[in-house]
Amino acid sequence: MSDETTHLPPAETFDYKHVGGRFIGLCVTAIVTLLISLVLGIGNPQQFAFSWLFAGWFFVTILIGSLFWVIVHHATDAAWSVGIRRQLENISCQLPLLALLLLPLLFVAPKVWTWMAESPTHNHELAEKAAYLNVDFFWIRTAVYFLLFGIVALLFRRNSLAQDQDGAAIHSIRNRRIAFFIIPFGAIALTFWSFDWMMGLNIRFVSTIFGIYNFAGAVLAALCVIILLANALRSAGYLKRVLTAQHNFAFGKLLLAFTLFWGWIAFVQYMLIWYANIPEETSFYVLRSTGSWKVLGILLVVGHFIIPFCLLLFRGPKANARFLGVVAFWILTMHLLDVYMLVLPVLHPEGFQPAVLDVVALLAIGSTLGAFFLKGLGDSPLWPSRDPRLAEAVNFND
Amino acid sequence: MSRHLPVAGSLAEPLHAVGARFDTPDALIAAVRSIRAAGYNAVDCYTPYPIHGLAEELKAPKSLISFLVLGGAVTAIALALTMQLVPSSLIYPLVVGGKPVNFSGLPQYVPITVALTLMLGALAAVKGMILLGGMPRLNHPMLAWDLFAKDASRGFFLAVSARDPNFTLEKVTELLETSGAGDITAIHLEPSDDE
């Protein structure tokens, strides 16, 4: 054991020479696309509202998914994920910024969550649900989601950074306590968050598994992002000591597991609604399987489940970083389609109708988050350099 | 027996293998490496728990388990779909809850198919593991070695089979000695109780 601790890899800090012009490019993209979305948004506030929600929810799922991996790491006292934990922390700590970026939704909310514009006195369904589904409570809940997850993400990172300074195990133990605390509350919060933001697009639709469906997509998307990020950092020459082929193999197995998880949850939601055949519930799928939406729906089933499942089934290529990168990018694209299919069919029930704002909103939020992420990347060592389990993580053998 | 190796089993019976005990997994792996490098292929190891890297050093061929599981899973899919589709879609089309009996009614057949796939896949894995390990057997030649039979969990054991075409007792013993093995023993078969 003493051998291992004396051979711990020295801490690496990100050097900005690797980003160079790309950082400027991200900043310019962010500013330009934010301005374009402002201009286009004033012209077509309804399209703007839906596009912004689509892009926003895509990034919410990635950030919450990253937070989930941090929570799992601490709750299970894992060793293998020490090497990627700092990046997961960096990603999930973008939550306050994302909250700021999603502020425009405050002004266009009734355009996307149409129930807000309706009066319970004229809508019996809304009146029945008014105790939960009223505007004030909606925004209070939204604030609670951001506060809960944001504070927890920041606490994880603060303890983790403190450990970089003194190497004390108490920080790991504190983080484990936070993880135990957040698991039940976080599960409930994410469920209701997806109820409020996604299911609330059509208040007649109910599905108890909906929260888990969004959770499955979020966890998978975050895993894809961390795989791509790990590949990018390794190709720039970092993390090579702490992330080996064994870690790639772990990534590959988790990708397969969560692809199966997403596929099963998606199927179970579909099958139960299809079988029970109750109009309020089937409307969700009827909308998404008519006209050109049907093509995208089939693409989602094939692309989000069948293709990754077949690719990841074999043992050999799963240890290959390049292969994993390609699969992760593909799944991430499919997750984007998944979120798109949750949001946009409500606006265009007649069929798929691409809008410039969809792309612009995605670029605006994405490049802003990316720019801030890159800016903060060099502030701390690239992995928790004095984590008690670092030696175990480096020598992880799958 | 020029070196007067300790002998297990009966000298009247043929030699089965030369066994040795190592104190650490690392020593065992190093020994396997040097014995493989010397050209012996019929080498086997007996350890109290799985050791990472040992299978690679032994150059063990890829296990057949994954093919067995795939076979079980594919059989299960075919079986489940046939057992559901043939009676309720072909022989006696039965409309339940207004669901189509043709291909577009497929979702209703999926849960059973998935469950059966999991079951046959898992059974193939477990039974395959037992059978491929040569499991239902009443005795093993290694058990003629008292130390091994009594204390197999207190060391990392290695056996070089006498069936190896390159096998010579002296050379193997020498190799084992240089790699730091303890309790090197010539293991003979035990007389059978048939007569």
Element (H, E) at B16: strand B15-22
Q: How far is CA B140 from CA A252, A324, B13, B19, B187, in A?
A: 39, 44, 15, 13, 11
> What sections of chain A are H helices per DSSP?
2-6, 21-43, 45-75, 82-92, 95-101, 104-112, 124-129, 135-166, 170-197, 210-235, 245-276, 279-288, 292-301, 307-312, 321-347, 356-377, 390-394
B46 strand-pairing partners: B157
Which pLDDT tens digit goes with each residue over A96-110?
999 999 999 999 999
Locate A137 and state its tokens: 């409570």
Same domain, B56 and B149: yes
d(CA A226, CA A239): 13
Reported ipTM: 0.75
Q: Which of B109, B132, B155 delimits the end of a domain?
A: B132
Q: Characterize A184-217 residue by residue with b for buried, 16 or more Cβ atoms within 10 angstroms of its Cβ, and e for exposed.
A: eebeebbbbbbbbbbbbbbbebebebbbbbbbbb
- Residue A315, pLDDT above cutoff 60: yes
Same domain, B74 and B122: yes
Q: Characterize A13-45 residue by residue with b for buried, 16 or more Cβ atoms within 10 angstroms of its Cβ, and e for exposed.
A: ebeeebbeeebeebbebbeebbebbeebbeeeb
Burial grade of A360 (CB within 10 A; 0-12, 13-18, 19 or more): buried
Same domain, B55 and B80: no
What is the β-pairing status of strands B15-22 and B156-161? antiparallel
What per-residue confidence (pLDDT) applies to A1? 40
Contacts with B111 from chain A: Cβ below 8 Å: 271
Contacts with A274 from chain B: Cβ below 8 Å: 107
Contacts with B114 from chain A: Cβ below 8 Å: 264
Average model confidence (pLDDT) for chain A? 91
Q: Hey, which of A19-23, A167-171, A358-362, B99-103 has the most confident mean pLDDT?
A: A358-362
Question: Contact B107/A275, CB-based, under 8 Å?
Answer: yes
Give the pLDDT band (50/70/90) at residue A4. Answer: very low
Which pLDDT tens digit goes with each residue over A362-384?
999 999 999 999 988 888 888 88
Higher confidence at residue A332 or residue B64? A332
Could you tell me what percent of chain A has a pLDDT over 70?
98
DSSP letters along B51-109, please? -TTHHHHHTPPPPSHHHHHHHHHHHHHHHHHHHHHIIIIIIS----TT--SSGGGGGGG
Question: Contact B108/A271, CB-based, under 8 Å?
Answer: yes
What per-residue confidence (pLDDT) applies to B3? 56
Q: Hey, which of A245-249, B149-153, B177-181 has the most confident mean pLDDT?
A: A245-249
Q: Hey, which of A53-57, A381-385, B31-35 has the most confident mean pLDDT?
A: A53-57
Is residue B176, in this structure, part of any structural domain at all? yes
Is B64 part of the contact surface with chain A (CB cutoff 8 Å)?
no
- Residue A120, pLDDT above cutoff 90: no
A226 CB contacts (<8 Å, ≥6 apart)? A66, A69, A84, A87, A88, A91, A251
Which pLDDT tens digit goes with each residue over B143-159?
878 787 887 788 888 88
Per-residue H/E/C for A228-245: HHHHHHHHCCCCCCCCCH
Chain B, nearest residue to A271 by Cα: B107
d(CA B52, CA A395): 11
Give the pLDDT band (50/70/90) at residue B193. Answer: low
Specify the 3-state DSSP secondary structure of A62: helix
B157 strand-pairing partners: B21, B46
> What sections of A277-320 are H helices per DSSP?
279-288, 292-301, 307-312
Contacts with B108 from chain A: Cβ below 8 Å: 271, 275
Same domain, B74 and B166: no
Mean local confidence (pLDDT), A195-221: 93
Same domain, B30 and B15: yes
Same domain, B55 and B74: no
Average model confidence (pLDDT) for chain B? 83
d(CA A236, CA A112): 42
Which pLDDT tens digit goes with each residue over A209-232?
999 999 999 999 999 999 999 999
Is B53 part of the contact surface with chain A (CB cutoff 8 Å)?
yes
Same domain, B74 and B113: yes
User: Nearest C-alpha of chain B: how many angstroms from A193?
Assistant: 29
Range of the domain at B24: 7-61+142-188
Contacts with B99 from chain A: Cβ below 8 Å: 275
Chain B, nearest residue to A270 by Cα: B107
Mean local confidence (pLDDT), A4-16: 72
Give the pLDDT band (50/70/90) at residue B1. Answer: very low
Helix axes B65-85, B110-132, angle to 10 degrees: 150
Question: Contact A274/B107, CB-based, under 8 Å?
Answer: yes
Number of domains in chain B: 2
Burial grade of B130 (CB within 10 A; 0-12, 13-18, 19 or more): exposed
Where in B105-155 does DSSP place strands (E)? none
Q: Where are the domains of chain A?
A: 22-394
User: Nearest C-alpha of chain A: how many angstroms from B92?
Assistant: 20
Q: Characterize A48-76 residue by residue with b for buried, 16 or more Cβ atoms within 10 angstroms of its Cβ, and e for exposed.
A: bbbbbbbbbbbbbbbbbbbbbbbbebbbe
Is residue B1, in this structure, part of any structural domain at all? no
The amino acid at A96? P
Question: Contact B98/A277, CB-based, under 8 Å?
Answer: yes
Locate A370 and state its tokens: 């990316």
Is residue B106, in this structure, part of any structural domain at all? yes
Mean local confidence (pLDDT), B78-107: 86
B residues 82-111 lying closer than 8 A (beta carbon) to A: 97-99, 107-108, 110-111
d(CA A332, CA A116): 32
DSSP class of residue A278?
A: -
Is residue B194, in this structure, part of any structural domain at all? no
Is residue B110, in this structure, part of any structural domain at all? yes
Contacts with B53 from chain A: Cβ below 8 Å: 397
DSSP letters along A321-344, please? HHHHHHHHHHHHHHHHHHHHHHHH
- Output phi, psi for B157, to 5 deg: -100, 150
